[in-house]
């Protein structure tokens, strides 16, 4: 057996490739090429992983070195202020108390518990206790009351754990309103929705402030922190561990059923691909409601016995923390850089000055969205650490591919497949059937079969066309694999821009523009066009202080985009692109903005006042609604002629002005 949870099996001495983190060496096989992946796969996975209960892995992590610091927390990026520390013994004790408390309050093993909170020390105990006793469901704490109510209701949550009233956050107000909406709806329906009892509501709090009413840690304190006080079956590979909702780039989020097997495999794969050890010290600055933050920068670290540093409840959104970033590395001996591309773009422009960052290891992983090569190069220059690009999705419990830590990093690609993962590129029919497999370098739909693939969506009707009976996950992403096994993602199928029957991949446009000096982010979408159906345009966010014009960017794009039809017809500079919590552009909002601009312009000649509404009907489908005020038969004909020229659904109504 390995010396710590889910480490790769030791190799013969001749094959060992030792990675050292400070004074603690652990043997790992080299990951240089696809041949190394195949070498790992010669040992069956069930010989590498002999237990599939992620909750027990978390307890093992707590017991690896109980006196070691599990969590350090600072207050809103103030590295010179108070530091709150929990040892692993503290974390285990609080976790067991929460598990016993939940079960004593009627929460069963399959009962969902919604968790709406930024990262605080108690959140880790809540997740561990929740995985031991129930089915945690982390929810984006930035959602409004109606969105929260929708997710809580669809999940069938029996309890909600949320950050109590806290300055700078509206979480408690939104959660309270959501619970009120659900209570009202249940009352109006005569409780026909099946809720046998009202939602139980508990609070977490800012560790630097006083606890609130119904504080979870206070309520759990009388319960045992030494052992579970209820019988618990060991989870199997297919046991549902928790729910995680999709990221929100397309609007209505889906709820994914994540398994214990997927989480355990994710831990094992992260350890192998990134050579993690218990001596690592990591920053937790990405939200734990997202699968990447929940595992790689969250619970995987705990299960490995690593120390986690929480710099701020606001995470990487906290400007004070980002300004102190390199001081955090020095103060806590951080071993891996943390950050999505948007964060790294900022760090690349504020290098360390006098800080000692020698604790950093020579590589780190990032993902979420395209990263400008100049940022990767700058980060490597100032830190000595290479940026490993990744590709993953919630439905696969995170990573599908990772750049090889010991091998070549290919710009524009997302690395090699994770061991025991099959990446298939196929041409698919409109009915979802696989027509044929694609050749090397040929773009098609990316399908994935992996131990990380989730058990489907909570709403099983949504599984169709995504979770196939042959075990493959249809990702919705287009991409290709080259002769050496590197995956290149072109973009989402639903994000394709179709110009006069020509399919344009947004990634071609975005990858060109993010290389332009001064460009921080780029997001390409299609704008409606009466002749071509759609025309490519791109929204661009500049780096702070950058001086670059639209004309300069247009010339830059035209010189570097290989397909002439893909050259954008318009570039729109914005102060901030709308992003998800992990840095992905929210494209349906950009599609709506582009459509509103187009229809507001083409409707100008209509000879009466009018109001315009544009809605997204799913994917890139648009519904245009125009209300004419004081119209005549002539003005209605004008509006009808204009809108009928576009390939969008539309409606026209009239009202007295």
Closest C-alpha to 592, from 569, 612, 567: 612
Residue 376: pLDDT band (50, 70, 90) is: confident
pLDDT exceeds 90 at position 587: no
Between 646 and 580, whose confidence is greater? 646
Please write the tens of the pLDDT for every residue from 344-373.
878 888 999 999 999 999 999 887 555 667
Provide the percentage of residues in the chain whose pLDDT is more than 70.
Answer: 91
CA distance 450 to 418: 9
- Rounded to two decimals, what is the model's pTM? 0.80
What is the rounded CA–CA span in Å between residue 281 and residue 305? 10
* Pairwise CA distance, residues 160 & 623, whole Å: 36
Q: Which residue has the higher pLDDT, 421 or 607?
A: 421
Give the pLDDT confidence score for residue 201 in this predicted structure: 96
Compute CA 305 distance to the chain's CA centroid, rounded to the nearest angstrom.
23
Please give the mean pLDDT across all residues of the chain: 89
> What's the CA gap between 66 and 89, in Å, rounded?
5
What number does CATH give the domain 54-481? 3.40.50.12780
pLDDT band at residue 317 using 50, 70 and 90 as cut-offs = confident
pLDDT for the residue 500:
64
**195: pLDDT confidence band, cut at 50, 70 and 90?**
low
| 1, pLDDT greater than 50 | no
Kind plus residue range of the DSSP H or E element containing 541 = strand 533-542
Residue ranges covered by each domain of the chain: 54-481, 496-584, 603-655
Tell me: pLDDT of 234 over 60: yes
219-223, 593-597, 618-622, 643-647: which has the minimum mean pLDDT? 618-622
- Average pLDDT, integer, range 70-91: 97
Provide the H-helix boundaries in 74-170. Answer: 88-104, 121-133, 145-155
If you search the block for the tokens 């909702």, which residue do you land on?
245
Question: For domain 496-584, is the CATH number 3.30.300.30?
Answer: yes
Comparing CA positions, the residue from 341, 289, 333 lying closest to residue 309 is 333
pLDDT at residue 22 above 80?
A: no
The confidence score (pLDDT) of residue 303 equals: 97
Q: Does the fold of domain 496-584 match that of domain 54-481?
A: no
């Amino acid at each position: 057996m390995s010396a710590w949870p889910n480490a790769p099996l030791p190799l013969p001495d001749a094959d060992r490739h030792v990675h050292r983190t400070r004074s603690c060496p652990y043997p790992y096989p080299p990951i240089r090429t696809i041949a190394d992946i195949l070498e790992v796969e010669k040992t069956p996975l069930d010989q590498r992983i002999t237990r599939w209960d992620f909750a027990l892995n978390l307890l093992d992590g707590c017991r690896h070195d109980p006196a070691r610091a599990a969590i350090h927390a600072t207050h809103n990026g103030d590295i010179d202020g108070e530091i709150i520390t929990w040892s692993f013994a503290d974390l285990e004790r609080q976790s067991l108390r929460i598990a016993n408390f939940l079960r004593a309050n009627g929460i069963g093993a399959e009962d969902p518990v919604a968790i709406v909170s930024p990262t605080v020390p108690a959140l880790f105990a809540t997740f561990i206790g929740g995985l031991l006793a129930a089915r945690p469901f982390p929810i984006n704490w930035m959602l409004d009351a109606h969105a929260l109510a929708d997710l809580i209701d669809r999940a069938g949550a029996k309890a909600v754990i949320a950050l109590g009233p806290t300055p700078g956050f509206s979480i408690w107000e939104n959660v309270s309103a959501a619970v009120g909406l659900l209570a009202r709806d249940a009352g109006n329906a005569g409780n026909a929705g099946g809720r046998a009892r009202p939602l139980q509501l508990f609070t977490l709090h800012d560790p630097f402030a006083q606890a609130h009413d119904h504080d979870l840690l206070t309520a759990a304190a009388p319960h045992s922190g030494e052992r579970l006080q209820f019988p618990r079956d060991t989870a199997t590979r297919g046991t549902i561990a928790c729910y995680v909702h999709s990221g929100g780039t397309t609007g209505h989020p889906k709820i994914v059923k994540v398994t214990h097997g997927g989480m355990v495999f994710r831990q094992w794969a992260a350890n192998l691909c990134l050579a993690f050890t218990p001596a690592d010290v990591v920053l937790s600055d990405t939200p734990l409601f997202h699968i990447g933050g929940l595992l790689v920068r969250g619970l995987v670290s705990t299960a490995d016995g690593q120390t986690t540093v929480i710099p701020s409840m606001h995470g990487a959104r906290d400007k004070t923390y980002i300004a102190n970033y390199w001081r955090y590395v020095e103060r806590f001996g951080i071993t891996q850089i943390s950050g999505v591309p948007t964060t790294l773009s900022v760090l690349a422009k504020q290098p360390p000055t006098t800080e000692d960052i020698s604790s950093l290891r020579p590589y780190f992983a990032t993902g979420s969205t395209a990263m400008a090569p100049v940022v990767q190069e700058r980060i490597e220059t100032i830190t000595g650490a290479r940026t490993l690009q990744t590709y993953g999705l919630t439905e696969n419990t995170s990573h599908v591919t990772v750049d090889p830590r010991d091998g070549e990093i290919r710009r524009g690609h997302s690395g090699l497949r994770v061991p025991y993962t099959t990446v298939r590129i196929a041409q698919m029919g409109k009915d979802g059937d696989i027509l044929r497999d694609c050749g090397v370098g040929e773009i098609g739909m990316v399908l994935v079969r992996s131990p990380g693939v989730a058990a489907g969506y909570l709403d099983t009707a949504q599984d169709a066309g995504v979770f196939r009976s042959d075990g493959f996950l249809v990702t919705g992403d287009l991409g290709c694999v080259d002769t050496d096994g590197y995956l290149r993602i072109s973009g989402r199928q639903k994000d394709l821009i179709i110009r006069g029957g020509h399919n344009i991949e947004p990634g071609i446009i975005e990858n060109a523009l993010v290389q332009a000096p001064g460009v921080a982010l780029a997001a390409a979408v299609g704008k409606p066009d009466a002749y071509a159906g759609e025309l490519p345009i791109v929204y661009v966010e500049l780096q702070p202080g950058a001086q670059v014009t639209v004309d300069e960017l247009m010339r830059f794009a035209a010189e570097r985009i290989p397909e002439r039809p893909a050259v954008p017809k318009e570039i729109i500079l914005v102060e901030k692109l709308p992003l998800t919590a992990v840095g992905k552009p929210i494209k349906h909002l950009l599609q709506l903005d582009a459509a509103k601009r187009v229809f507001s312009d083409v409707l100008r000649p209509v000879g009466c006042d009018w109001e315009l509404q544009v809605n997204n009907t799913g994917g890139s489908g648009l519904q245009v609604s125009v209300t004419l005020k004081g119209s005549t038969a002539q003005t209605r004909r004008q509006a009808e002629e204009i809108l009928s020229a576009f390939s969008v659904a539309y409606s026209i109504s009239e009202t007295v002005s």
